[in-house]
Amino acid sequence: MKKNVFWMIAFMLCFVGGVNAQTEELFNGKDLSNWRFIVDGDKMPVNEMYMIRDGVIHIQGSSTIFGYMYTEKKYKDFTLELEWKWVGEATNSGIFMMIAEPQQGNAFPKAIECQLKGGDAGDFVMLSGSDLDEYVLPANGRRPAFPVIKKRQDSNEKPIGEWNRAKIEVKDGKITIYINGVLQNQATNKVKEGHIGLQSEGGPIQFRNLKISF
């Protein structure tokens, strides 16, 4: 009898937990009303760098003018899922997490980046003085401008023109990255809350199916 009661309680807790879980669409397929935009030095009109076509976010990308779009809200303890693909060639972009305070004209906020650069998707990049507990300084003791924690596995990105999937879990500052279902990286950040961003850097990239659960 006691065993039956135990399993009944466990089932009810799981059920309640599932009911209380929330999922939010970060992109409704129509507009970017819940996003804000940064362009390096305001050198390009926002609507030329970020746009929507056929229910997909198109980011122009540039090797000389950088930027990012970021969520109006800040998030903590979440799971972010999205899809991306390259147009023409795999260049450079990324997903920013725990963005502290965006500053107009500054394309590199204090944040942690999940690298999407071709061949390196899943690397961590520490932007503008941000840090991860697992980062180890190089032998010369000099911290690079953009420190990197390399991904765990070989690249498992799909061919150009095909959709890739990123899943990023953040729990109490611990960040876990899956690329196309493969665990690629995990590290811990002392900052536990911030905006989420999509980078405009090397060249054209597209995003769709952005959702966050918490």
Q: What are the tokens at 181?
A: 């279902």
Averaged confidence pLDDT in the chain: 92
Q: What are the tokens at 55?
A: 């229910």
Q: How confident is the model at residue 72 (pLDDT cuts 50, 70, 90)?
A: very high
The secondary element (H helix, E strand) that includes residue 103 is none
Residue 11 has pLDDT above 70, yes or no: no
Separation of alpha carbons 207 and 150, rounded Å:
23
Q: Where are the alpha helices (DSSP H) in the chain?
A: 2-20, 46-49
Q: What phi and psi, each to the nearest 5 degrees, are found at residue 118?
A: -50, 125
Residue boundaries of the structural domains of the chain: 31-213
**Among 210, 213, 208, which Cα is nearest to 79's?**
213
**Tell me, which fold does domain 31-213 have in CATH?**
Jelly Rolls (2.60.120)
Q: Which residue has the higher pLDDT, 17 or 146?
A: 146
Q: What is the pTM of this model?
A: 0.90
Whole-angstrom CA distances from 149 to 61, 132, 154, 192 are 24, 9, 14, 19
Separation of alpha carbons 44 and 118, rounded Å:
24
